[in-house]
A and B are shown apart, each in its own frame.
Chain A
């Protein structure tokens, strides 16, 4: 892997990550996912206030070649979206676990986090 996976995020098998602080989950896509997508040119984000269920397609990331659905790893209500991505979608490639985050959710079911993968499990999942 080109970048270290931070120890405070958990991944879905579909390559999204969630970082939870004070009942709010920040969602993004993994370094592996951005590497597979390459050259992100557009990100479509969910509307503020939308209630999303875990596993629901709620964003779209577009590379030069294709559009890919993004599934929320956890359920909740959208409280923030990363406005920076409108002008700088390349942040998803450059800093997938930081400035390239997608949106934030107020967690509806914190128990869902237990079903997500820790760093070691995710690395195994992607064959690292």
Chain B
């Protein structure tokens, strides 16, 4: 039985096509992936991200504990600010990639991937058991208590605050800086609003009590309607994030792949002191890795690259050098694009490669990230 978010009935009512996404029955599209993608790039799109997990970590020991299990430096955060970070095993492999927000001095909110909630909670509890100051850390999985929405696109800041009411002592959402988080009110209940997203556009993500998430969804649709807001599914979410080269856990990241290999070294704070995975990550940063994540574009009109397609070096002495991890037709660029791992010596920008598509080789070029940048 697939799990359903608080918005399941709303998706059905909107005529969404539903798919199994990591054990969740989620909308892949409402009207068309291309239309929804364009709405986000030019106006606004609304996504159900209630499947994602929320874990609260509170207490006097929370900052030190989290800084030992996460790769980025938590001390850089101010109150009501968040950062992208990773949680790694001792081999430096990614348990998950996530956002951590410092909502109060001793209270943190972790927003994690849906398919990794159980693995994350198990790992955090295991790490906590070995943490000397564990009595001063309270860890709670709140994933079932919360729904979540992402509102993304260049016009979102114009209507976001019309969605809330009441106390705005943290400031209007429209004035938040990138990665900031604020508490606002909806139906008299506190909700979190952050200026974050997974599309490469300006936008916000909201975490709300599950019982009011459907009402909030309708409120956002109503407020954004005059600005061209459309509900958008996981199909558009995938093309949008692939164009800006954001990793997707299970594709670019897994427990045998490190953030250094994935080109996420900027989120690994080697200077902050010891943390889980640090020895391996430090060695990789110093000496290099055996594989490197690259972005590529099709060089000519071809079938779209797809995950697991083989990547070959170009030319007469061609050989198998890697595999596509994410690939699609780019709605913004009108060509095939993708991400994949290759040996570092083959990873230079503009290097020609070939993508094997159903036995045929399609020419492609390694490109600098992101593949799409907003104007």
Q: A: which residues have CB within 8 A of B?
A: 38-39, 41-42, 44, 60, 62-65, 67, 86
Question: A39–B301 contact, CB under 8 A?
Answer: no
Contact B303 A44 (CB under 8 A): yes
Complex interface: chain B residues within 8 A of A62 (CB): 303-304, 329
What residues of chain A lie closer than 8 Å to B13, measured between beta carbons? none
Asked if B127 is at the interface of the complex by the 8 Å CB criterion, the answer is no
Instruction: Judge whether A64 and B331 touch: CB under 8 Å.
Output: yes
Please report whether the interface of chain A is mostly helix, strand, loop or mixed according to DSSP.
strand
In whole angstroms, how far apart are the Cα atoms of A64 and B334 in the complex?
Answer: 11
CB distance from A89 to the nearest CB of B (A): 9
Q: Mark B25-45, 1 if CB is under 8 A from A, else 0.
A: 000110011100000000000
Docked complex: B295-309 residues within 8 A CB-CB of A: 301-304, 306
- Asked if B28 contacts A65 (CB within 8 A), the reply is yes
Q: Which B-chain residue is minimally distant from A44 (CB atoms)?
A: B303
Q: B239 near A: Cβ within 8 Å?
A: yes
Chain A residue at minimum C-beta to C-beta distance from B329: A41
Check B235 against A64 for contact (C-beta < 8 Å). yes
- How many Å from the CB of A23 to the closest CB on chain B? 31
Q: Are A42 and B302 in contact (CB under 8 A)?
A: yes
Nearest residue, chain B, Cβ from A64: B33
Contact yes or no, B328 A64, CB < 8 A: yes
Least CB distance from A60 to B in Å reads 7
A41 to B235, CA, bound (A): 14
Choose among B29, B301, B331 the residue that contacts A38 (Cβ–Cβ < 8 A). B29
B358 within 8 A of A: yes
Residues of A within 8 A of B303 (CB): 42, 44, 60, 62, 67
Enumerate chain B residues within 8 angstroms of A39, measured Cβ to Cβ. 32-34
Q: Contacts A65-B235, A67-B303, A67-B306: A42 and B329 contacting too (C-beta < 8 A)?
A: yes
B239 and A64 contacting across the interface, CB-CB below 8 Å: yes
- Bound-state CA distance A63–B329 (Å) is 8
Assess whether A38 is in contact with B32, with CB atoms less than 8 Å apart: yes
Residues of chain A within 8 A of B301, CB atoms compared? 42, 86
> Which residues of B sit under 8 angstroms from A42, Cβ to Cβ?
301-304, 329
Q: How far is the CA of A44 from the CA of B360 in the complex (A)?
A: 11
Interface residues of B in 179-206 (CB under 8 A from A): none
Q: What sequence of 0s and 1s flags, for each residue 311-326 of chain B, a beta carbon within 8 Å of any chain A beta carbon?
A: 0000000000000000
Contact across chains for B358 and A44 when beta carbons are under 8 A apart: yes
Inter-chain CA distance A17–B34, complex, in Å, is 26
C-alpha spacing A86/B300, complex, angstroms: 12
User: Considering the chains assembled together, what is the distance between the CA atoms of A39 and B329 in angstroms?
Assistant: 11
Rounded to whole angstroms, the CA-CA distance of A112 and B28 in the bound complex is 38
Given the complex, which residues of B lie within 8 Å of A86, measured CB to CB? 301
* CB-CB nearest in chain B for A63: B33
Given known A-B contacts A38-B32, A38-B33, A64 and B329 have beta carbons under 8 A apart: yes
Contact with A along B277-308 (1 / 0, CB 8 A): 00000000000000000000000011110100
Q: Which residue of B lies closest to A93 (CB)?
A: B32
Smallest Cβ distance from A27 to chain B, in angstroms? 19
What's the Cα separation between A42 and B29 when bound, in Å?
19
State how many angstroms separate the Cβ of A5 from the closest Cβ of chain B: 22
Q: Name the B residues within 8 Å of A41 (CB-CB).
A: 304, 329
A-chain residues with CB within 8 Å of residue B329 when the two chains form the complex = 41-42, 62, 64
Interface centre among B235, B329, B331, B358 (most CB of A within 10 A): B329
CB interface residues, B 9-62, toward A, < 8 Å: 28-29, 32-34
Q: What are the interface flags for B328-350 relative to A under an 8 Å C-beta threshold, 1 for contact and 0 otherwise?
A: 11010000000000000000000
Task: Give Cα A60 to B34, complex, Å.
Answer: 20
Query: Interface centre among B303, B328, B331, by most A CB within 10 Å?
Result: B303
> B39 to chain A: closest CB distance in Å?
14
Q: How far is the CA of A114 from the CA of B219 in the complex (A)?
A: 55
Known pairs A42-B302, A42-B329, A63-B33; list 16 more (Cβ under 8 Å).
A38-B29, A38-B32, A38-B33, A41-B304, A42-B304, A60-B358, A62-B304, A64-B33, A64-B34, A64-B239, A64-B304, A64-B329, A64-B331, A65-B28, A65-B235, A67-B304
